[in-house]
Amino acid sequence: MHSNKKKTIAVIFGGRSAEHDVSIITAHIPIIQSLLVAGRFDVVPIYIAKDGSWYSDDAMKDIQCFKQVDLEERVRRGKKLHLVFDNGLKVIRPGFSSKTISIDVVFPSMHGTFGEDGSLMGLLRMANVPFVGCDLFASAVAMDKTLTKQVIAAEGIPVVPYVWFTKHEWERSKSEWIQKIKKLHRPLFVKPVHLGSSIAITKVKDETALEHAVEVALHYDDKVLVEESVENLIEVTLPIMGNEELRLAAIERPLNKTEFFDFNEKYVSGGKKTGGVNNAYSEIPANIDPGLAREVKDLGEKVYRTLGCSGIARIDFLIDSAKRKVFVNEVNTLPGSLYHHNWKTVGVSNIELVSTLIELAEERFESAKKLSRIFNSDILSKAGGGKFSN
Amino acid sequence: MITNVISRYHPRYIRSLVYMLQASEYKISDYFAWIRRTKDFRLVEKRKKLTYSSKALFLIGVGWVLWLTIIAAGVGVSISISSMYGYLLGATIILVAPFLLVYGIAALLFGVQLFQKPVEFIIINRAKKMLSSHKALKIAVAGSFGKTSMREILKTVLSEGKKVSAPPYNHNTLLGISAFIRMLKGDEEVLVFEFGEYYQGDIQTLCELVDPDIGIITGVNEAHLQKFKTLEHTARTIFELADFLREKYVYVNGESEFARKNAYSEHCIYTRNGIGKWKVENAHTDLSGTSFTLTKGDEKLLLKSSLLGFHQIGPLVVATVIAKNAGLSAEQIQIGIAKTKPFNHRLELKTDSAGVIMLDDSYNGNPDGVRAVVAFLSSLNGRRFYVTPGLVEMGAQTEVVHREIGRKLAEAGIEKVVLIKNSVTAYIEEGLKDNQYHGEIIWFDDALSALKALPHMTAKGDIVLLQNDWSDQYA
């Protein structure tokens, strides 16, 4: 497609995260591929290697580039990207033909730590550049499953009973924590609180398995959540898009082959056909009672607003179908592959999805610009005059 | 220019030349026209690949021998003369070598054909003899468009009461049909032949081979106009079938203006309204298919087909009438019509996992077909994408035909028109603008890029129509 003025979009992916590879998939399918075919954007792919170094090369627009076995070594041979904060973001590709590129909008495609957890958003706020998706605060809270529960429960949103502890607390008084956990109804789920994509989540039915599951979770995180499982469970998820005006995708139900929707099912088993997120194991829209569906949508909007989400997020729910009770499970501020397969079912094409997210980023940026960040005072003139001392 | 010259020295050059000959169906004029248009000889195999037939392998092998001989001659001349004059002569030989090769391979083909022609003559005559003693009812289908669909409809409907056979794929030439005849068992009751027309006299020659009992002329339009130059020449060639059959049954598509104009008074004219005393009533079409009632006096047939669009009714009516005359019962005809469905890439309906409806009409590349399909698309609800590289071989009518397509698309209110950049699609854009088109025009450099982009552009409920596909020699 062709149009006149193209915007430059930097898509940032990879990173120091257990979800590094998932992030590469999301960046390409659908983000980069859709931006390229839309014809209205120049795409600057920015890859953060597992060691945290930043690189950029046009070859990285193609996902095939990341399928090479010696990827990390090849990348390390390249020149590292330089960033310039100059009332906006500029990136410099160093080398013989050094190139400085002004970025109009950043499209973060970082799952997990140092990206989805708000770290990247903080950097981009400092750079004063519009960026897609949730801002720092929502990202940081949603990244911590325990914190999310605490915040939304304070607003009266139902969550399942849980216990949480840090690595230090577990090691210091394991037996006390086991006693506390015993008060929860089994089976239980043991989760590292900061990880997404169902990595290191274990379902446990007895104490031996519990201790092992906690060790696994602590291998990836220093904070662990143990929560009750829901009986007569229906798991559903709801992607939402928007800043003030919200647009809901279809309620989706993962149809589990194993005991729950794990990493492989999400990204590996169906990845070849569906481009990242498995929809062969999903039911869209979820065939649930209309009353429950309404409650899921209402709770979804409430959670989205409570956490201050913007751009896009996905809310996961657990439903006790017998008791007709809906619990909010967790919030994902960067749904894998943006859940584009789901958006398509409600009439949103990939191009419309990424374009709308860019518009929302710009809208939020413009709105934030209207806030005053300057407060004039004579406080400095008085400093050192004896009135202020520590 | 530089790429053009350098690519002629690429090891792939000989293979490319042979592929261009093969894809041009060994027609020398098409081969030379393609060579004149080619900018990079390394990249001619885009949509298809060379088929390693014995003819292709022979041409590649001898082509290489020829190439090495010319290069050796260039080097030899330089060494043996060993002077400035000698070096210049040697360099000139090497410089013109790839151009000589173009003609060398064409000359080789000529040689192959000299050998082939007598063999083909024997094959065709044997087939003719075999078929003349065959008792089956022979139906011949000729026309600028709609032949394959007509053949498939007849085959499907008549098969409900008769043993029917027809050449597969697009085997519609003397050799293709002869090869099919050799495979016949002798117990067939109906044979349906599609007659391809490439040059004047082609249909007459095919008639002499098959000696048909019934003829169907599906239409006359601008398809292959580049070869026929005028529509009158096209009509005259297609109506060679009517001339051959004389008093026998000839059905002519009345919806094709040029076919109707050339029809004789004794011909049976068929349209979506019926044929003779058979009248079509209560016609309905949507994505589930096409239904109508066919009545003649007290006789009434309720027919439902999976074929899409009102333009399918005429051919379905012809098949019904032929089936009735062949002795099939009303029930057999109804079952047969119900079994008719879109043939490969001819308004074939596919729905992908995301719920996007794809209407694959990529084998339909004629103006009448386009008009019919746009009319069908305009009747559908949803966001509609019309994807096309335009039509080929429209000759002097190229601009007129494509502007008309643009106007029709604007008139139908198609939301998105996806055009492939080439020599004809700008006319479609002009036609769209002529009729104050309000939708979006989306351009792609080539068809593959468009096909790759479509999944990103569409969502559930969208309808995407793929109209025509240009093979390598046109792209």
pLDDT at A389 over 50: no
Min Cα separation A264/chain B (Å)? 21
pLDDT at A258 over 50: no
Contacts of A30 in chain B (CB under 8 A): 456
- If asked whether residues A242 and A287 sit together in one domain, one would say yes
Tokens of B266: 């004794």
- If asked whether residues B180 and B91 sit together in one domain, one would say no
Q: Which of A2, A38, A348 sits opposite B459 (nearest CB)?
A: A348
pLDDT at position A196 is: 64
CA distance B378 to B413: 7
Min Cα separation A365/chain B (Å)? 27
Which tens digit of pLDDT belongs to each residue from B111-121? Answer: 888 888 888 89
CB contact, 8 Å: A102 with chain B? no
User: Best interface-test mutation with B: which of A279, A344, A351, A355 has the largest number of B CBs within 10 A?
Assistant: A344
Contact (CB<8Å) B457/A349? yes
Mean confidence (pLDDT) of chain B: 92
Min Cα separation A39/chain B (Å)? 9
Q: Which of B353, B456, B461 sits opposite A347 (nearest CB)?
A: B461
Measure CA of the first residue to CA of the last residue in chain B; give whole Å.
Answer: 19
- If asked whether residues B299 and B177 sit together in one domain, one would say yes
- If asked whether residues B330 and B352 sit together in one domain, one would say no
Q: Is residue B127 part of a domain?
A: no
pLDDT at position A385 is: 62
Q: Is residue A41 part of a domain?
A: yes
Q: Is residue B42 part of a domain?
A: yes
Contact (CB<8Å) A1/B442? yes
Strands B384-388 and A7-14 come out as unpaired
Contacts of A349 in chain B (CB under 8 A): 456-459, 462
The whole-angstrom distance between residue B279's C-alpha and the CA centroid of its chain comes to 31
Q: Is residue A137 part of a domain?
A: no
Burial status of residue B190 (CB atoms within 10 A of its CB: 0-12, 13-18, 19 or more)? buried
Amino acid found at B373:
V
- If asked whether residues A365 and A260 sit together in one domain, one would say yes
CA distance B33 to B423: 15
Min Cα separation B425/chain A (Å)? 14
Contacts of A274 in chain B (CB under 8 A): 353
CA distance A335 to A313: 6
- If asked whether residues A262 and A219 sit together in one domain, one would say no
Q: Is residue A174 part of a domain?
A: yes
pLDDT at A276 over 60: no
pLDDT at position A68 is: 84
Looking up tokens 């309906």 gives B349
Q: Is residue B89 part of a domain?
A: yes
Contact (CB<8Å) B456/A351? yes
Q: Which of B442, B444, B460 sits opposite A345 (nearest CB)?
A: B460
- If asked whether residues B370 and B231 sit together in one domain, one would say no
Tokens of A96: 């013989």
Q: Is residue A66 part of a domain?
A: yes
CB contact, 8 Å: A301 with chain B? no
- The residue-averaged pLDDT of B350-364 equals 91
pLDDT bin (cut points 50, 70, 90) of residue A390 is very low
- If asked whether residues B9 and B92 sit together in one domain, one would say yes
Looking up tokens 């400085």 gives A100
Contacts of B354 in chain A (CB under 8 A): 341, 344-345
User: Can you give the pTM of this predicted structure?
Assistant: 0.81
CA distance B242 to B195: 13
- If asked whether residues A203 and A123 sit together in one domain, one would say no
- If asked whether residues A110 and A189 sit together in one domain, one would say no
pLDDT at position B475 is: 61
The DSSP element (H or E) to which A238 belongs, if any, is: strand A233-242
Of B76, B96, B119, the one marking the end of a domain is B119
Contact (CB<8Å) A1/B456? no
CA distance B362 to B347: 8
CA distance B254 to B238: 15
CA distance B112 to B97: 22
Residue of A nearest to B444 (CA): A1
- Residues contacting residue B335 through CB under 8 Å, at least 6 positions apart: B160
Q: Which of B355, B356, B456 sits opposite A30 (nearest CB)?
A: B456
CA distance B416 to B432: 11
- If asked whether residues B144 and B244 sit together in one domain, one would say yes
CB contact, 8 Å: A270 with chain B? no
- If asked whether residues A251 and A364 sit together in one domain, one would say yes
Contact (CB<8Å) B456/A344? no
Contacts of B449 in chain A (CB under 8 A): 37
Which tens digit of pLDDT belongs to each residue from A116-167? Answer: 899 999 999 999 999 999 999 999 999 999 999 999 999 999 999 999 999 9
Tell me the residue range of the domain where B79 lies. Answer: 2-119
CA distance B442 to B435: 17
Min Cα separation B161/chain A (Å)? 43
CB contact, 8 Å: A355 with chain B? no
Contact (CB<8Å) B355/A341? no
A163 vs B80, higher pLDDT: A163
The region of weakest confidence among A168-172, A275-279, B116-120, B466-470 is A275-279
SS3 A313: strand
SS3 B212: coil
Residue of A nearest to B463 (CA): A347
Q: Is residue B124 part of a domain?
A: no
- β-sheet bridge partners, residue A224: A165, A192
Contact (CB<8Å) A347/B456? no
Contacts of A38 in chain B (CB under 8 A): 456
Residue of A nearest to B382 (CA): A347
Burial status of residue B145 (CB atoms within 10 A of its CB: 0-12, 13-18, 19 or more)? buried
User: What ipTM was predicted for this assembly?
Assistant: 0.81
Residue of B nearest to A345 (CA): B460
Of B119, B143, B174, the one marking the end of a domain is B119
Contact (CB<8Å) B458/A347? no
Q: Which of B442, B456, B458 sits opposite A33 (nearest CB)?
A: B456
Domains held by chain A: number: 3
- If asked whether residues A224 and A267 sit together in one domain, one would say no
User: In this structure, what is the dihedral angle of CA atoms A304, A308, A314, A319, given to the nearest 10 degrees?
Assistant: -40
pLDDT at position B112 is: 85
Tell me the CATH number at A11. 3.40.50.20
Contact (CB<8Å) B457/A351? yes
Min Cα separation A208/chain B (Å)? 43
pLDDT bin (cut points 50, 70, 90) of residue A271 is very low
Cβ neighbour number for residue B65 with a 10 Å cutoff: 11
The conformation of residue A145, written as its DSSP 8-state character, comes to H
Contact (CB<8Å) A33/B355? no
The DSSP element (H or E) to which A45 belongs, if any, is: strand A41-48
Tell me the residue range of the domain where A18 lies. Answer: 7-132
With b for 16 or more beta-carbon neighbours within 10 A and e for fewer, the A259-280 pattern comes to ebbbbebbbebbbeebbbbbbe
pLDDT at A278 over 70: no
Contact (CB<8Å) B460/A38? no
Burial status of residue B77 (CB atoms within 10 A of its CB: 0-12, 13-18, 19 or more)? buried
Tell me the CATH number at B237. 3.40.1190.10
Domains held by chain B: number: 3
Min Cα separation A343/chain B (Å)? 8
Q: Which of B354, B442, B444 sits opposite A344 (nearest CB)?
A: B354
pLDDT at B373 over 50: yes
- If asked whether residues A311 and A362 sit together in one domain, one would say yes
Contact (CB<8Å) A352/B353? no
Tell me the CATH number at B394. 3.90.190.20
Where does residue B447 fall: left (phi above 0), alpha (psi -120 to 50 degrees), or beta otherwise?
A: alpha
CB contact, 8 Å: A349 with chain B? yes
DSSP letters along B286-349, please?
Answer: ETTEEEEEEEETTEEEEEEES--SGGGHHHHHHHHHHHHHTT--HHHHHHHHHH----TTSSEE
- If asked whether residues A253 and A316 sit together in one domain, one would say yes
Q: Is residue A374 part of a domain?
A: no
pLDDT bin (cut points 50, 70, 90) of residue B392 is confident
CB contact, 8 Å: A346 with chain B? yes
- Alpha-helical segments (H) within chain A: 20-26, 33-38, 71-77, 119-127, 136-143, 145-154, 167-172, 174-182, 207-220, 263, 271-274, 290-306, 340-345, 350-369, 379-382
pLDDT bin (cut points 50, 70, 90) of residue A384 is confident
CB contact, 8 Å: A344 with chain B? yes
Q: Which of B442, B443, B460 sits opposite A347 (nearest CB)?
A: B460
The region of weakest confidence among A79-83, B128-132, B221-225, B299-303 is B221-225
Residue of A nearest to B452 (CA): A37
Residue of B nearest to A282 (CA): B353
- If asked whether residues B70 and B36 sit together in one domain, one would say yes
pLDDT at position A131 is: 98
Q: How far is CA A283 from each of CA A299, A348, B200, B353, rounded to the nearest angstrom?
A: 20, 18, 59, 12
Tokens of A278: 């498995």
- If asked whether residues B165 and B115 sit together in one domain, one would say no
CB contact, 8 Å: A272 with chain B? no
- If asked whether residues B27 and B8 sit together in one domain, one would say yes
Burial status of residue B279 (CB atoms within 10 A of its CB: 0-12, 13-18, 19 or more)? middle
User: Best interface-test mutation with A: which of B448, B449, B456, B458 has the largest number of A CBs within 10 A?
Assistant: B456
Helix A136-143 / helix A145-154 crossing angle, nearest 10 deg: 110
- If asked whether residues A238 and A360 sit together in one domain, one would say yes
Tell me the CATH number at A326. 3.30.470.20
Closest CA relative to residue B150, chosen from B181, B173, B172, B183? B172
pLDDT at B213 over 80: yes
Instruction: Give the largest Cα separation in chain B, rounded.
Output: 96
Q: Is residue A15 part of a domain?
A: yes
CA distance A173 to A317: 32
pLDDT bin (cut points 50, 70, 90) of residue B224 is confident
pLDDT at position A274 is: 40
CB contact, 8 Å: A34 with chain B? yes
Q: Contact, B424 vs B390, CB < 8 A?
A: yes
Closest CA relative to residue B256, chosen from B226, B237, B235? B235
C-alpha torsion sign, points B323, B324, B326, B327: positive
Of B290, B312, B339, the one marking the end of a domain is B339
User: Best interface-test mutation with B: which of A349, A350, A352, A355 has the largest number of B CBs within 10 A?
Assistant: A349
Q: How many CB pairs under 8 A join A and B?
A: 48
- Alpha-helical segments (H) within B24-53: 28-37
Which tens digit of pLDDT belongs to each residue from A6-21? Answer: 999 999 999 998 889 9
- If asked whether residues B143 and B228 sit together in one domain, one would say yes
Q: Which of B354, B453, B462 sits opposite A37 (nearest CB)?
A: B453
User: In this structure, what is the dihedral angle of CA atoms B433, B437, B442, B444, given to the nearest 10 degrees?
Assistant: -40
* A 178-217 residues with CB < 8 A to B: none
